[in-house]
């Protein structure tokens, strides 16, 4: 499986997003992870479609948009217009899952489903045929800078055994050490916020993460 690093801009300097994204390109990041929070599905509010649309004009790296919102179906058009390449939403949301996936895929975008740490991985099984990726959260969604939950690894192992070719993403507490644990479990797409943007050299950290993911 191809290893992909997806830096989460949630941990970046919001006053200088364009230059923060340039550092990701220098580091060879395959994706840019954009966390959208509505203050309802999670107890926090972050960025929305207008910010993503502005960033799309200054960044060539594909956008991996992680919707932590209660009603993703209502907002899919906005995120497609904003330039999302992959749209991930939560299986625990209030929208109709099938309709939301279809809306994303019909618009020519890639659809992914996310599961919170306490949600069984079987929850995504009915939709696997239509999904480009599954995100196994390795922290409770809502905040950056939390500690990696190794207890979520059995879900990754189970999914990888079932789907050898599927992109399996992990998000939360990924750093140069925990990426090895998640990689060995079977993940191949790695979100990293604090580890990248709070480091002295984000581009070098992205390269190090990629090396360690292959260990
Ligand atoms: C958390 C977000 C993550 C967050 C990860 O709910 O989905 O993408 O930015 O941050 P770190 O890598 O700092 O745990
Ligand atoms: Zn995220």
**Mean pLDDT of all residues in 140-146:** 97
Give residue 113 CA to ligand 2 midpoint distance, Å. Answer: 12
Confidence of residue 215 (pLDDT cuts 50, 70, 90): confident
Strand 4-7 with 110-115, pairing = unpaired
d(CA 99, CA 6): 26
Which ligand 1 atom is the nearest neighbour of the CA of 146?
Answer: 14
Share above pLDDT 70 across residues of the chain, in percent, rounded to a whole number: 100
**Mean pLDDT of all residues in 145-165:** 98
By most ligand atoms within 8 Å of CB, the mutation choice from 136, 191, 205 for ligand 1 is 191
The structure's pTM equals 0.98
Give per-residue pLDDT as tens, 48-101. 999 999 999 999 999 999 999 999 999 999 999 999 999 999 999 999 999 999
Nearest to 55 by CA among 39, 38, 69, 34: 34
For the question of residue 171 being annotated catalytic, the response is: yes
Is any atom of ligand 1 closer than 6 Å to the C-beta of 193? yes
Q: In what order do the strands lie in the sheet with 63-68?
A: 4-7, 189-192, 167-171, 133-137, 110-115, 86-90, 63-68, 32-37
Confidence of residue 161 (pLDDT cuts 50, 70, 90): very high
Is any atom of ligand 1 closer than 6 Å to the C-beta of 183? no
Question: Do residues 152 and 189 lie in contact, with contact meaning Cβ atoms separated by under 8 Å?
Answer: no
Question: How many C-beta atoms lie closer than 10 Å to residue 96's C-beta?
Answer: 12
Is any atom of ligand 1 closer than 6 Å to the C-beta of 35? yes
Is any atom of ligand 1 closer than 6 Å to the C-beta of 64? no
By most ligand atoms within 8 Å of CB, the mutation choice from 172, 199, 206 for ligand 1 is 172
Is any atom of ligand 1 closer than 6 Å to the C-beta of 7? no
Q: Is the pLDDT of residue 196 over 90?
A: yes
As a three-state string, the secondary structure of the chain is: CCCEEEEEHHHCCHHHHHHHHHHHHHHCCCCEEEEEEECCCCCCECCCHHHHHHHHCCCCCCEEEEEECCCHHHHHHHHHHHCCCEEEEECCCCCCHHHHHHHHHHCCCEEEEEECCCCCHHHHHHHHHHCCEEEEECCCCCCCCCCCCHHHHHHHHHHHHHCCCCEEEEECCCCCCHHHHHHHHCCCEEEECHHHHCCCCHHHHHHHHHHHHCC
**Which one from 106, 167, 171, 200 is the annotated catalytic residue?**
171
For the question of residue 129 being annotated catalytic, the response is: no
**Mean pLDDT of all residues in 175-204:** 98
**Mean pLDDT of all residues in 141-160:** 98
User: Would you tell me the crossing angle of helices 153-162 and 178-185 to the nearest 10 degrees?
Assistant: 30
């Amino acid at each position: 499986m191809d290893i992909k690093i997806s830096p989460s801009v949630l941990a970046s300097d919001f006053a200088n997003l364009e230059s923060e994204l340039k550092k990701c390109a220098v580091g060879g990041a395959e994706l840019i992870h954009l966390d959208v929070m509505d203050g309802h599905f999670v107890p926090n509010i972050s960025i929305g479609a207008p910010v993503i649309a502005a960033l799309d004009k200054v960044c060539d790296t594909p956008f991996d948009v992680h919707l932590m919102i209660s009603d993703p179906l209502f907002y899919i058009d906005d995120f497609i217009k904003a330039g999302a390449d992959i749209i991930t939403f939560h299986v625990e949301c209030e929208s109709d899952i099938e309709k939301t996936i279809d809306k994303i895929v019909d618009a020519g975008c890639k659809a992914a489903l996310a599961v919170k740490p306490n949600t069984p991985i079987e929850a995504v099984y009915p939709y696997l045929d239509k999904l480009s990726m599954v995100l196994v959260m390795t922290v409770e969604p809502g905040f950056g800078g939390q500690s990696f939950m190794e207890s979520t690894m059995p879900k990754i192992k189970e999914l990888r055994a079932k789907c050898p070719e599927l992109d399996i993403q992990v998000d939360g507490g990924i750093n140069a050490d925990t990426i090895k644990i998640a990689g060995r479990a079977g993940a191949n797409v790695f979100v990293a916020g604090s580890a990248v943007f709070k480091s002295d050299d984000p581009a070098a950290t992205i390269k190090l993460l990629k090396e360690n993911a292959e260990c």
